[in-house]
Amino acid sequence: MEHLAIVLRAFYLAASALILFLQAIPPLRNRFLAYGSRNTSPKSIKAKPPNILERLLDYAASVQVPHNYFTHFYVASVASSLFWGWKLRLWDAGGQLPFVWALMLGQGGRRLVESYVYTSSSKSRMWFVHWLLGLLFYLANNVAVWVELQEDIAKGTKSTPDGLNWKPSIVVPAILTAQMFQHLYHAYLYRLRIQNRDYQLPSHWLFPNLLCPHYTCDIAFYVLLSLLGAPAGHIVNWTLASAAVFSATNLGVTAAGTKAWYEEKFGKDKVSGRRRMIPWVW
């Protein structure tokens, strides 16, 4: 299982490096990273007839899927949680593993419901690689939950390591709080769009200083889960921590694009004082 954990970490970090590489090169960033309302079609990028490389990039960027395919991520997450829970009886494992498994299942289930309830009839699309990476990310997460905690699975409910009880009592409420806030932000953004029939500059109590607090909550979920899912004798579960790195990289790039889009739509003077994703910092 140690080799599987290494493979998962390598996937998360390689995917993060790919996103940063695309972000660093404007022709690639404009074609492949923007999606949804921030998507820029290749036609708007062309200032002159493209050369063969540009044509190849435009062709690659044109292979897209509907933006509402995001729902597939959460279907995969819930199905994977249930499969591994049944296969390995994770709810019967000792230690903190049942908490980690249940929280991952709850996160996937909540996001699945939200993807149905808060999805508008938008015709926006995203690059198909976004979709593939998202599926792989959520499938990998549900393996990362248990891959470093094999001893807990072997012990079952008969043994719980000494000194462990404090961790769920602190970290689980923190995770549930992050999930609650993320849900509230998703609901707020959906109502704002539906009521105004267009995108508006958010004015939620936390939005005046932060443009993407729902991203902040998502990253917090994985960071806290990596602490809760740490094997005995370790501070952090490095596989889940690698998932947190991917989440921070992916959402950080999206948050940067969101701020640029808000500045273009509403003016820099109304947006410049707001942080992208990290309160008071970035």
Q: CA nearest 244: which of 220, 212, 275?
A: 220
The average confidence (pLDDT) of the chain is: 87
d(CA 278, CA 193) in angstroms, rounded, equals 24
Per-residue confidence (pLDDT) for residue 230, from 0 to 100: 93
Half-sphere exposure of 58 (CA within 13 A, CB side): 13
- The stretch 112-124 carries a mean pLDDT of 82
- The stretch 195-212 carries a mean pLDDT of 79
Of 65-69, 145-149, 237-241, give the lowest mean pLDDT range: 65-69
d(CA 257, CA 190) in angstroms, rounded, equals 19
Per-residue confidence (pLDDT) for residue 165, from 0 to 100: 64
Please list the residues that pair with 210 across neighbouring strands. Answer: 275
Please spell the DSSP secondary structure of 199-234, one letter per residue.
Answer: ------TTTTTBS-HHHHHHHHHHHHHHHHTPPTT-
**Amino acid at the residue 218:** D
Residue linked to tokens 């993060």: 16
Q: How far is CA 115 from CA 83, 112, 185, in A?
A: 21, 5, 13
Per-residue confidence (pLDDT) for residue 197, from 0 to 100: 66
Per-residue confidence (pLDDT) for residue 49, from 0 to 100: 55
Give per-residue pLDDT as tens, 72-108.
999 999 999 999 999 999 988 888 899 999 999 999 9
